[in-house]
Amino acid sequence: MGVKKNFVLDTNVILHDYKCIYNFEENDIYIPIVVLEELDKFKKGNDQINFNAREFAREIDVIADNDLFAKGAELGPARGRLFVVTGEDYPPEIAKSFAEKIPDHRILACAFNLKNKSKEKTILVTKDINLRMKAKSLGILTEDYISDKVTNMDVFEKDFSTYDSVSPEVIDRLYSSAEGIEIDEFDFKSDIEPNECFVLKSNRSSVMCRYNAIEGKVKRVEKERIFGIEARNAEQAFAINLLMDDDIKLVALTGRSGTGKTLLALAAALQKHEQYKQVLLSRPIVALGNKDLGFLPGDATEKVTPYMQPLFDNLNVIKHNLSYQGKEVRIMEEMQKNNQLVIEALAYIRGRSLSETFFIVDEAQNLTPHEVKTIITRAGEGTKVVFTGDIQQIDSPYLDHQSNGLVYMIDRMKGQDIFAHVNLIKGERSYLSELASNLL
C-alpha cells in the first residue's frame, strides 16, 4: 500500500465514468458541491453522458449518509472515503488570477484549500487540459483520469507483420490447400494473435495469410470482390476476409481517413444481407459547439441527417461501382425500402436488443469505453458488430488517442477467438487525399 492521497474530481471525470469513485484504491475522494450542481444539468437526455449523470446520482444516493459531508462515506474494503465539499472559501490566490467564480474556478478553489490544510498529497483529476494548466499555475498537482487509458499503442502505428525466409514448400501448400496448415508447424506461432493477418515470404514467392484461431490453422487470404468493392491492397484484403467470416462476431477497423474502413464494412454487410434480418449503420453525434441536438431545427430525422451523411456517401460509392444497375442495386433499394438497411444515430440504440443484425459503428473513436461496452452488450444471437474509426481524429473534448472507447475495446478484446482487428495504413480514396494526409 502506498502513501495515502486525496483526489479532487472534476465533473467531466464522472461524466466519462460514473463508477470512477471506485478506482482510486485506498485514497480519499473529494467532490466539490459545484460538481454535483453541474451534473444536475446533464441528467436529462439520451446520450451516454446523460446516462452517466443519472447513474452517478443513484450511486451516491446509495452510499450517502450524514458522514458524506463531515467524516466521509466509506466506499468499501481496501478503498478510501468519499467527501462532498461545501461552503468552501474563495482564496485570494485564486481570485487574483481567476476572479470570475465559474464552476472550474470553484473546483480549483476546493483543490487549493484542501492542499493547504491536508497533510496528504492532493491531486486534481480532470480530463480538461486547460483546467490542468490552470491548476499547475497555482501549484496544484493534477492528473488526467487514466484508469481506462491504453499504454501500448504499437498496434495502431503499423500495418501487418511480414515473415521472411519461409520455406517455399510451405507457401506452395498454402496455395494448393484450402484447409490451411496447423499453427504448430510455424516457429513464430508464439508471436501471432488469434485472427491476426500477416504475409509469409520465401525466396521465390509470398502469400497473404490469417491465423484462424477457432480452427487453429494458418490459412491463405485471397483478394475478394464484394458487392462491387474489390480490395486494392493487402490490408483491405485482410479486412474483407475478417468481415466475411461468420465465426468472428466483433471486428475493429482502424486507420486514417480514406483507407476504406466504412466502405469495406458496408460492402461486406450488403454481401451478407441474406444472413441478417437487418444491416444497421450508426455513428455517434458530437454536437457542434457543445450544443444539444434540440438546438437544431427540424424533427428527429432532420436533426441527425447531416451527421449521418458520410454513411450515405459510402452507399453512393457502392452504387456508383455497380453502375446504378443490376441485381445488387435492386437489393440495396429493396433493403432501404423495407427497413432492412437502416442508418441512424447511436443515441437511438440504447435499450434495444439487436439479434441477427450486421451492426456497423462508424467514428467509434468518439465513444467512451463505457459507451462501447453498452453497444456490444446490445448484440443478440446471430449479430456481428463492426467498429471503424481514426484514432487521430477525435472530436470529443475529453477523449484522446489513448482513452477513447475504440482503442480500449481493441486492447481488452485482443486474444479472443471471435475478435479481430486490422489497422489500415494505405489511403485509397484518391492520390490527392493520400498526399494531403501525408503532408498536411
Query: Which domains does the chain show, CATH number per domain?
Result: 5-143 (3.40.50.1010), 154-439 (3.40.50.300)
Whole-prediction pTM value? 0.77
Task: Give CA–CA dist 357/413, Å, rounded.
Answer: 20
Q: State residue 284's pLDDT score.
A: 83
- CA 362 to CA 372: how far, in whole Å? 12
Over residues 29-47, the mean pLDDT reads 91
pLDDT of residue 146 exceeding 60: yes
pLDDT > 70 fraction of the chain, expressed in percent and rounded: 88
pLDDT band at 294; cut points 50, 70, 90: very low
Q: Would you state the cell numbers that stand for residue 233, as one nine-digit string?
A: 491492397
Q: Residue range 202-223: average pLDDT?
A: 93
Q: Looking at the predicted structure, is the pLDDT value of residue 292 above 80?
A: no
pLDDT at res. 353: 83
pLDDT of residue 87: 83
Strands of the sheet containing 121-125, edge to edge, are 73-74, 81-85, 28-32, 5-9, 121-125, 141-143
Q: Mean of the per-residue pLDDT values for the chain?
A: 86
- How far apart CA 300 and CA 282 sit, in angstroms, is 15
Q: Higher confidence at residue 439 or residue 376?
A: 376
In degrees rounded to 5, what are phi and psi of residue 240?
-65, -40
- Per-residue model confidence (pLDDT) at position 399: 85
Count the neighbouring beta carbons within 10 Å of the beta carbon of residue 207.
Answer: 21
CA distances from 238 to 27, 103, 198, 222, 383 (A): 46, 49, 9, 8, 21
The pLDDT confidence band at residue 331, using thresholds 50, 70 and 90, is: confident
pLDDT confidence tier of residue 318, bands split at 50, 70 and 90: confident
pLDDT given for residue 123 in this prediction: 96
Q: What is the pLDDT of residue 295?
A: 44
* pLDDT (tens digit per residue) in 43-61: 988 777 888 999 999 999 8
Using CA atoms, how far apart are residues 362 and 374, in angstroms rounded to an integer?
Answer: 15
Please check the confidence at residue 432 and state whether its pLDDT lies above 90.
no
pLDDT in the model for residue 352: 79
Q: Where are the alpha helices (H) located in 184-298, listed in sequence order?
A: 234-243, 261-271
Q: Of 124, 107, 115, give the one whose Cα is nearest residue 34.
A: 107
**Crossing angle for the helix pair 327-337 and 300-321, nearest 10 degrees?**
170
Sign of the CA dihedral with 163 first, then 167, 171, and 173 last: negative
Report the run of H or E that residue 14 belongs to, with start and end: helix 11-16
pLDDT recorded at residue 288: 36
Give residue 287's pLDDT.
47
What does the pLDDT read at residue 285? 73
